[in-house]
């Protein structure tokens, strides 16, 4: 296909040797670019759109089934939807603007999810670990895409190629660049919020552990005097006071009950239990 549309051998090597990262390869007559696109409701939401711009010709192709991108590309080619799209350069600028807008919208959805987790944690005192892990995964995806956009958009704008001239559409491509910068700032903010929720989750687990250890400590403290009494009266000596008294056993039981009750009341009053 590349040979059929007149792509040079340099462009062919650039296309076939391209990595998964977003990139731009420019020559005087052609520009090859690779842009990540966010597709919601997928296990792997990042799909790469490949573009090859020759003079007055844009070729896009993709891998996998992604109807949303097809619809988007069809919409971009309709002048009534985007009346300022008249040239290949207009179309590339439109791709950048629309892709950056979709990703920025995805960042807003992530913000709503983080807000929901934070509100639930505030009201119930419990941080949902599964929800937090899912949000963190989405955040890493946005971070990856934001980094790619921050590199590929300026490279497209400054490609200095005869096939692609975005200099006359500075405001258009600048919208995409500004969106990528804003997205990077949002990503940094979201990392901080998720870190706070992680810390709250750790403190919640630590608090539960400390409470359990506190209860065990109280129980151990209560049984210490009981162990002392049973140890004393469990010794086998020939002469021990009280062994011959008929009321010694019930008195000892009452003493133990009183000791347990008194210590429990004390720990309850001081807030240990």
The pLDDT assigned to 127 comes to 83
Query: Can you give the pLDDT at residue 165?
Result: 84
Nearest to 190, CA basis, from 70, 106, 99: 106
pLDDT of residue 62: 61
pLDDT, position 74: 59
CA distance 100 to 91: 14
Q: What are phi and psi of 23, to 5 degrees?
A: -155, 165
pTM attached to this predicted model: 0.68
Q: How far is CA 133 from the centre of its chain?
A: 6
pLDDT under 70: residue ranges of the chain: 1-8, 10-11, 14-15, 18-20, 40-42, 61-85, 168-171, 238, 243, 272-273
Domains in the chain, start-ordered, CATH in brackets?
Answer: 64-203 (1.20.58), 208-269 (1.20.58)
Contact 39, 103 (CB under 8 A): no
pLDDT at 185: 92
pLDDT at residue 60, rounded to an integer = 74
Distance CA 4, CA 226 (A): 94
Query: In the prediction, which pLDDT does 37 show?
Result: 84
């Amino acid at each position: 296909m590349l040979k059929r549309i007149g792509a040079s051998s340099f462009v062919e090597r650039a296309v076939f040797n391209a990595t998964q990262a977003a990139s731009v390869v420019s020559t005087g007559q052609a520009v090859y670019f690779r842009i990540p696109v966010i597709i919601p409701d997928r296990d792997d939401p990042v799909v790469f759109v490949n573009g090859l711009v020759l003079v007055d010709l844009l070729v896009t192709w993709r891998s996998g089934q992604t109807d949303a991108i097809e619809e988007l590309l069809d919409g971009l080619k309709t002048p009534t939807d985007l009346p300022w799209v008249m040239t290949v350069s207009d179309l590339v600028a439109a791709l950048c603007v629309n892709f950056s807008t979709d990703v920025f919208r995805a960042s807003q959805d992530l913000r709503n999810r983080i807000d929901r987790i934070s509100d639930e944690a505030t009201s119930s005192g419990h941080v949902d670990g599964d929800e937090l892990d899912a949000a963190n995964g989405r955040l890493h995806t946005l971070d990856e895409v934001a980094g790619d956009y921050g590199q590929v958009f300026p490279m497209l704008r400054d490609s200095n190629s005869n096939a692609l001239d975005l200099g006359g559409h500075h405001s258009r491509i600048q919208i995409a660049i500004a969106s990528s910068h804003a997205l990077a700032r949002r990503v940094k903010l979201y990392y901080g919020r998720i870190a706070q929720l992680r810390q709250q989750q750790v403190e919640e687990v630590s608090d539960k552990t400390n409470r359990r250890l506190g209860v065990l400590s109280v129980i151990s403290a209560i049984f210490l005097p009981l162990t002392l009494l049973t140890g004393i009266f469990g010794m086998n000596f020939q002469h021990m006071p009280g062994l011959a008294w008929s009321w010694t056993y019930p008195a000892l039981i009452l003493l133990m009950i009183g000791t347990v009750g008194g210590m429990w009341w004390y720990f309850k009053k001081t807030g240990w239990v």
